[in-house]
Structure 1
Amino acid sequence: METVKIVENGVQAKKEIEQLMMSGYTKDEIYLLAHDRNRSEDLTDSLEINDISVQEQGVFDSIANVFRTRGDELRSKLESLGLSSNDAERYEEEMDRGKVIVVASKSA
């Protein structure tokens, strides 16, 4: 089961993360993605949540991401959390527009 939130910035991301935690998710089940790699890393670090790692993606996809465009990498990461390819593409387009995606996943 996945819950996806589209937010504008770190303040809104923090608020959504707090709400997800109140609804039963742990920080280990919450992920944040942004199109800009540095923004994604900075927000992940400052909000103390997970980055999508080899554990969620698998070795093959993690290695393949080295050779993918950022958009392809983001869609792959979203799919590794259980989103459909259509949903992953739609959320990646939101990230293209500067949005931040917060994903809570019980299956990852």
Structure 2
Amino acid sequence: MEAIKIVENGLEAKREIAHFMMEGFTKDEIYIFAHDENRTEHLTDALEISAVGVGEQGVFASIANVFRSRGDELRSKLESLGLSASAAERCEEQMDHGKVVVVASKVA
């Protein structure tokens, strides 16, 4: 089970994280993505939520991400959380336009 929200900034992301938590997700089940890697890291740290890592993706996918473009890496991480390839593609397109994607997933 996963839920996706596309937002403009960290303030909106914080609101959606609170909403997901009210729906029963824990902070360990909520992930945030932005096209800029530094922005993703900053938001993840500031909002105290999880980053997609080896546990969600597996060793081989994590290693492969080192050699992928940022877009391919983002789609791979989104798919590892249970999103379909087409949903991951739509999210990545939104990130191309400066949006932030917040995903709550019980799959990981």
Indicate the TM-score class for this superposition, using the shorter chain for normalisation. Answer: over 0.9
The size of the alignment, in residue pairs, is 108
Q: How does 1:1-108 map to 2 (within 5 A)?
A: 1-108=1-108
Q: Normalised by the size of structure 1, how large is the TM-score?
A: 0.99
Letter in 2 for 1:56: E
Structure 1 counterpart of 2:53, one-letter code: S
1:54 Cα offset (Å)? 0.3
Give the unaligned 5+ runs of structure 2. none
> What percent identity do the matched residue pairs reach?
71
Alignment deviations for residues 15-67 of structure 1 (CA, whole Å, 9 cap, x no partner): 00001001100000000000000000000000000000000000000000000
CA–CA separation in structure 2 for the residues paired with 1:86 and 1:13: 22
CA distance in 2, matches of 1:88, 1:18: 23
Q: Supply the AA of the counterpart residue of 2:29.
A: E
Q: Which whole-Å CA distance do the structure 1 matches of 2:94 and 2:44 have between them?
A: 18
Give deviations 1:53-99, integer Å, cap 9, x for gaps.
Answer: 00000000000000000000000000000000011001000000000
TM-score (norm 2): 0.99
Q: Deviating runs (4+, > 3 A) in structure 1?
A: none
